[in-house]
Amino acid sequence: MLTIWGRLSSVNVQKVVICAEELGLAYERVDAGGKFGGLDTPEALARNPNKLIPVIRDGDFVLWESNAIVRYLSRAYGAGSLWPADPRAAADADRWMDWQCTTLNPALFDAFWNTIRVAPAERNQAAVDASVAKTEPLLAMLDARLADRECVAGAHSMGDIPLACTAHRWYGLPIERRRHANVEAWLARLRARAAYAAVLTYPIT
């Protein structure tokens, strides 16, 4: 049985849960992190010395880093579906996963942090504005990518999962944003899948 440690309000945990749901895996999710704590017990530290979630255990194999977990589960249990059979399609999906964690997520983080996690009186509006200004061109890039494809790597794949979690967060922020019709349509298509619907209705907190 697969065990997933992490609270569902974390985008990084959301990725792993969507992946497990898409693959139809039997799993147990244990709330950890945030208000649940539990990241600095000796057992948790042995699983992940970074004191972060998500972490999984699959048999005797323990793994942390959300995108690495999505890749592992996809390759182990979704060869030919979440893990595309064509090496170029797999690399394409992989590339968009890296882009999510190295480029898109850092760009929108300040907008998320200051509008959701920081008390209104302490909000740094300049940081929100800078973050939105950095994120909009990236979403335009994703929008162009999705102009002639169902999903980022063609057919639905692991590449869509991290991006969808970040896009869900973006569209849940109380900010003014531009319309990106292809991104919005892609996110709606993903939300229509049971695995995404189970997670991407979770409020942004």
53 binds ligand GSH (CB under 6 A): yes
Stretch that binds ligand GSH, among 49-57, 81-89, 133-141, 164-172 (CB under 6 A): 49-57
* Total of chain residues touching ligand GSH, rule CB under 6 A: 12
The two three-digit tokens of residue 172, written as one number: 């849940």
Q: Which is nearer to ligand GSH, 20 or 146 (CB)?
A: 20
Q: Which is nearer to ligand GSH, 35 or 179 (CB)?
A: 35
x-marked contacts with ligand GSH along 1-20 as a string, rule CB under 6 A: ---------xxx--------
d(CA 158, CA 165): 12
CA dihedral sign, ordered 159, 162, 166, 169: positive
39 binds ligand GSH (CB under 6 A): yes
CB 163 within 8 A of CB 136: no
Instruction: Work out which of 52, 152, 167, 199 binds ligand GSH, going by CB under 6 A.
Output: 52
The two three-digit tokens of residue 115, written as one number: 């509008």
d(CA 50, CA 121): 31
d(CA 149, CA 89): 13
Instruction: Work out which of 17, 18, 20, 33 binds ligand GSH, going by CB under 6 A.
Output: 33
The total number of residues shown for the chain amounts to 205
Q: Which is nearer to ligand GSH, 82 or 146 (CB)?
A: 82
Q: How far is the CB of 96 from ligand GSH (least distance, A)?
A: 15
x-marked contacts with ligand GSH along 56-95 as a string, rule CB under 6 A: ---------xxx----------------------------
Cα separations in angstroms, 19 against 77, 120, 131, 161, 175:
10, 34, 28, 7, 29
CB 96 within 8 A of CB 163: yes
* Positions that interact with ligand GSH (CB under 6 A): 10-12, 33-34, 39, 52-54, 65-67
